[in-house]
Every structure is written in structure tokens, then in C-alpha cells.
Chains A and B, each alone.
Chain A
Amino acid sequence: MLDLQKIRADFPILTQKVNGKPLVYFDNGATAQKPQVVLDAITKYYSEINANIHRGVHTLSQWATDAYEESRGKIQKHLNAKHAHEIIFTAGTTHGINAVANGFAALLQPGDEILVSAMEHHSNIVPWQMLCERTGAVLKVIPMNEKGELIRSEYEVLLSEKTKIVTVNHISNALGTINPVDYIIQKAHEVGAAVLIDGAQATPHLKPDVQALDCDFYVFSGHKVCGPTGTGILYGKEAWLNKLPPYQGGGEMIATVSFEKTTYADLPHKFEAGTPNIAGGIVLGTAIDYLNEIGFEAIAAYEHELLAYATQKLEQIEGLRIIGTAEHKTSVISFNVGNIHPYDIGTIVDKLGIAVRTGHHCAQPVMDFFGVPGTVRASFAFYNTKEEIDIFVEALQKAVMMLS
């Protein structure tokens, strides 16, 4: 059981008023709010430790390096990665995907195939399309059904020895579907394809075990797990990270440089060119600690309760259609009401203090599949409450009345 009162007190932003109303923040799929420990850790870093890492011999630099590497260790433990050097700090999920896609350019031949799913975020489509343009590889799409679940039989038909990488999200941002990634990974490995899992939407809700999953790459964003923006993680199996060429050149990622030849540094530094977001990387570890203290099992159980409660309440609204009704779903509800444009609903409920996402959620192919211009998306976090859902439903009814 979560101590909601205590948890809510950890998040200063939740006591804010917006448009004169108490803030109801249901846009957690876009970014999560930050607890006080995270805010304090940022201040502490800049007021006590700030120095460049992996370079200086002076004490501050050593402190900063230690803190940064300690955070890497925390994330290794969190993901159950075999080695700390399999954890690469990035600027976010998009950065991680681009780093891998770019690396694969050296490994692909014309006619090779890349599999993405029909429910990907643009960030897990566009880098691969760009890769296809560069290499002559072909992008194939794993279709989904009306509930927003991937169709297993179709996936198995698409897999062949031509498939070089399968890249899917763990949880869909637009639909909330939890994908059967263990199955996807296993099947892909049977044909010798690598697998990248986009964990941007999953990591706020569950604790992935990359060794148990046996995925080759796992990427996520710091800001969605209560950490700072501009942070993220690329996990890659050691063998894969050694195989891929570096993404960016610069300081820190080199072993020796001369004008004739540069040799690259070992992992993880090979993929960490330039001065990184040091504070961000350190504080990401603080955020992960915070979530682990609450416990992911408790978080998932409570969020599931919120999902069930909100689904049942929303279904009572006439003309409301939930987009994404997968059997395994996280606390995301995408919906439309009659023919009302999601933008109109979002605008009115915002006036009533409620933050929801509206639009195509950077997943236009998903919207096209369901034949809608966009949806309203309410996404819940462990610090949300049933009372907030009541406030939201009431506001939504008001909006629908005004707009119909």
C-alpha cells in the first residue's frame, strides 16, 4: 500500500494552482513531476560538487566522477545489467535510439530488414527510416489489432534471416498497451536479429530486467522516471556495444588522437563524447532510488487500480470511445468523445486546472489506424488519486456539454 499523503507531499508542484484551480496533473506519459529529493540533489550537485568528470586530478573532479559513476552503478543494478559499462548515459530515449540506428549503418546491406511495430512513437520510426535511406535496408511493420495489440502470427511471418533488428516499445505511449517483449525478443533471436526495446513509457511503471528479457538494447528517458530532462539511458549488451561504431566523436570517447588515426575509448566512454549532463546523470540515480524505495510492485498495483477506476468512470460518459483496450495495459487512457476535437476538450479542461495531453502523441500511424485526428490522453502516476479522477471526469462532462 502506498502512503499517498506522504508521497504527494514529496512533490511541491502538486500543490500548485493552475487557472485558479488546484492542479490535476494527468500528463505523466509526457513527463513525470519531480520529488523534493531530486530537486535537492540538483542543488547539492551545483552548490557542492560541480566539476568536470573523468579529467581532473583535483578533489572536486574526483567527487563528481565518483557520483556520476555511482549513479551508473545504481542504474546497472536497477536494470540488472551484467556490467556497469553496458550503461550509457544519453540525453534521452530519442538519443539512445539514434545512437543504435546510426551504429547499425555499418552493419546493414541493401535488402536487410528492420522490423518496427505499428504502435511506435515517431522517435522509434524516423531514425530507422533514415537508416534505411542510407543503407538500402527495408522497414517492415508488425501490425496490430483493433484493441491495440500486436498480432503475433503476423510478426512471426515477417521474421526471416533478412531481419537484422527488431525495435518495439515495451509500452505504447498512445495506447498504453504492454507489449509481450519477452516473446518478441525470443522470436527475433531465433532468426538471429537483434532487439531494441524502447522503454520510455515502461520504466515509470515497471522495473525491467534486461538479462531476463535478454534484449540487446534497452533505452529510456530520465525525465519520465521523475529525473531531470535531458537525461536517459542506453543499455546495450557488451558484445553489441563493442561491435557498433561510436555515434558522436569528441572528447572523452577517445583513447588516443593524432591527425592520422584516432582510437576509441573503451565502454562506456566510447558512446559518451563531450562533457555529459553530469548533474542530470547523477540525479537520475537519485530518482531511480526514490522510485525503488516506494517499490515498483506497489506502484504498478496502485496505478492499475487508478486505471480500472478511471476506465469505469469514463465509460459512463455518453459517446466516449477509448482507443487502446489491450488486455495488458498500463495507466494510460486515450479517448475521444463523439466528434469533439481533442484539442477543444484539452483546452476546456485546462481552464479547469487539468493537464492532459491532446493530439497525435507523436504516433500519427496509430491515429491513422484508428481513424482519428488525435485523442485526449490521461496518463496516471503513482502520486495521482481517485479524487483527482473524479475532478477530471466532472470537468470532462462540463467540456462535453459546452462543446456538443
Chain B
Amino acid sequence: MTIHDIQEEIVDEFSMFDDWMQRYEYIIELGKSLPLIEEQFKTDENIIKGCQSKVWVHAEEKQGKIWFTADSDAILTKGIIAILIRAFSGQEAKAILEANTDFIDAIGLKEHLSPTRANGLVSMIKQIKMYALAFETKNQ
């Protein structure tokens, strides 16, 4: 599936919920199910410091595709990371670089990706794109 298709699928899933509480409960569930980053990658080097919650992200390239694992000390942040990873992990660098995150707006979580929000997510997206750029440059 392309990033776009996955994003559509996520938007569909979220459209089932009537109110913010159900959406947040689902995000918390997703946070709990996030495939955890291996401890060895939870280094200071891999940490993205938001003002309040810490975010770790690790990337690997396998057969031309980039795979991400991540973690956060805040569960809501973790839930949104799970959503982002679902959209971006296992994709090609070029597709990741071209993709946007507008779907977050469509699922009613826009405020979490606002650059002023102190949760580290904006920096995480930047980091995901940086990894993609690095792998793409390396392979050229």
C-alpha cells in the first residue's frame, strides 16, 4: 500500500468515533501496541527532545525500504507515533520525502502536530524525513 492509501485507511478508522474521548482511547490503545524500539537504540543520540515528552526514533534500511521503530515516555505521543509509523514505515525514501501529514488533521489531531506543541512530534516527523533523505542520498 502506498503512504496515501494507508493514510486514507487510518482516516476511515477514525471516522467511526463520535467524540474526542473515543478517539483518544483508541490512540492510547495504539500507543500500547506500538512495536517498541530495541533498548540498544534508545540512546541519547536517537532522542528527539520535545519540551515535555521524550521521543526516540530509530531507522533501518532493508531491501530499499525504510523501517522505523520509536518510543515516547508519554502515551498519547506514543499513540500518534504509532499512527505515523504505520503510515511511513516500510516505504521507500522517495515516497516518505514526498508525503505529507495532512491526514493527522483529518483525524482530529491537528493540535498535536502544531509546531508550538511541546510534545516532540513535529521534530519526529522532521527526523523521519531526515532519515529518508539520508538513505536516499546514500543510495544515489
A→B interface (CB under 8 Å):
19, 340-344, 347-348, 351, 358-360, 373-374, 402-403
Q: Does B74 sit within 8 A of A, measured CB to CB?
A: yes
Q: Please encode chain B, from 49 to 91, with 1 for each CB lying within 8 Å of some chain A CB and 0 for all others.
A: 0011110000000000000000001111100000000000000
How far in angstroms is the closest Cβ of chain B from A131? Answer: 26
Q: Is the CB of B51 within 8 A of A359?
A: yes
Chain B hits for A343, CB < 8 A: 52-53, 74, 76-77, 118-119
Q: A341-B75, A344-B75 are in contact. Are A402 and B52 (CB under 8 A)?
A: no
Q: Is the CB of A359 within 8 A of B20?
A: no
CA distance A403 to B75 in the complex (A): 8
Chain A hits for B136, CB < 8 A: none
Q: Is the CB of A358 within 8 A of B24?
A: no
CA distance A359 to B24 in the complex (A): 20
Q: Does B124 sit within 8 A of A, measured CB to CB?
A: no
Chain B hits for A402, CB < 8 A: 21, 24-25, 28
> Which single residue of chain B is at the shortest CB-CB distance from A360?
B52
Q: A341-B53, A403-B75 are in contact. Are A351 and B20 (CB under 8 A)?
A: yes
With most chain B CB atoms within 10 A of its CB, the pick from A344, A358, A360 is A344
How far in angstroms is the closest Cβ of chain A from B111? Answer: 9
Q: A341-B73, A347-B76, A403-B75 are in contact. Are A373 and B54 (CB under 8 A)?
A: yes
> Which single residue of chain B is at the shortest CB-CB distance from A341?
B74
B→A interface (CB under 8 Å):
20-21, 24-25, 28, 51-54, 73-77, 118-119
| 24 A-B pairs whose Cβ atoms sit less than 8 Å apart in the complex | A341-B52, A341-B74, A341-B75, A341-B77, A342-B52, A343-B52, A343-B53, A343-B74, A343-B77, A343-B118, A343-B119, A344-B74, A344-B75, A344-B76, A347-B76, A351-B21, A359-B51, A359-B52, A359-B118, A373-B52, A373-B73, A374-B52, A402-B21, A403-B28
With most chain B CB atoms within 10 A of its CB, the pick from A341, A342, A348, A402 is A341
> Which single residue of chain B is at the shortest CB-CB distance from A340?
B75
Chain A hits for B53, CB < 8 A: 341, 343, 373
Chain A hits for B20, CB < 8 A: 19, 351
Q: How many A-B residue pairs have CB under 8 A?
A: 42
Q: A343-B74, A343-B76 are in contact. Are A351 and B52 (CB under 8 A)?
A: no
User: Told that A341-B52, A341-B73, A342-B52 touch, could you supply 4 new A-B pairs with CB distance under 8 A?
Assistant: A343-B52, A343-B76, A344-B74, A344-B75
> Which single residue of chain A is at the shortest CB-CB distance from B120?
A343
Chain B hits for A341, CB < 8 A: 52-53, 73-75, 77
CA distance A341 to B21 in the complex (A): 18
With most chain A CB atoms within 10 A of its CB, the pick from B21, B51, B74, B119 is B74
Chain B hits for A19, CB < 8 A: 20
With most chain B CB atoms within 10 A of its CB, the pick from A340, A347, A403 is A347
> Which single residue of chain A is at the shortest CB-CB distance from B75?
A344
The 10 closest A-B pairs by CB, nearest first: A341-B74, A343-B74, A359-B52, A343-B52, A343-B53, A344-B76, A344-B74, A344-B75, A341-B73, A347-B76
CA distance A358 to B77 in the complex (A): 14
Chain B hits for A403, CB < 8 A: 28, 75
Chain B hits for A358, CB < 8 A: 52
How far in angstroms is the closest Cβ of chain A from B65? Answer: 32
CA distance A347 to B121 in the complex (A): 14
Chain B hits for A374, CB < 8 A: 52
CA distance A390 to B75 in the complex (A): 26
> Which single residue of chain B is at the shortest CB-CB distance from A348?
B24
Chain A hits for B75, CB < 8 A: 340-341, 344, 403
> Which single residue of chain A is at the shortest CB-CB distance from B20?
A351
How far in angstroms is the closest Cβ of chain B from A65? Answer: 38
CA distance A374 to B77 in the complex (A): 15
How far in angstroms is the closest Cβ of chain A from B90? Answer: 28
CA distance A347 to B77 in the complex (A): 10
> Which single residue of chain B is at the shortest CB-CB distance from A359?
B52
CA distance A324 to B113 in the complex (A): 32
> Which single residue of chain B is at the shortest CB-CB distance from A20?
B20
CA distance A296 to B53 in the complex (A): 37
> Which single residue of chain B is at the shortest CB-CB distance from A351?
B20
Chain A hits for B74, CB < 8 A: 341, 343-344
Chain A hits for B21, CB < 8 A: 351, 402
How far in angstroms is the closest Cβ of chain A from B81? Answer: 13
CA distance A373 to B73 in the complex (A): 9
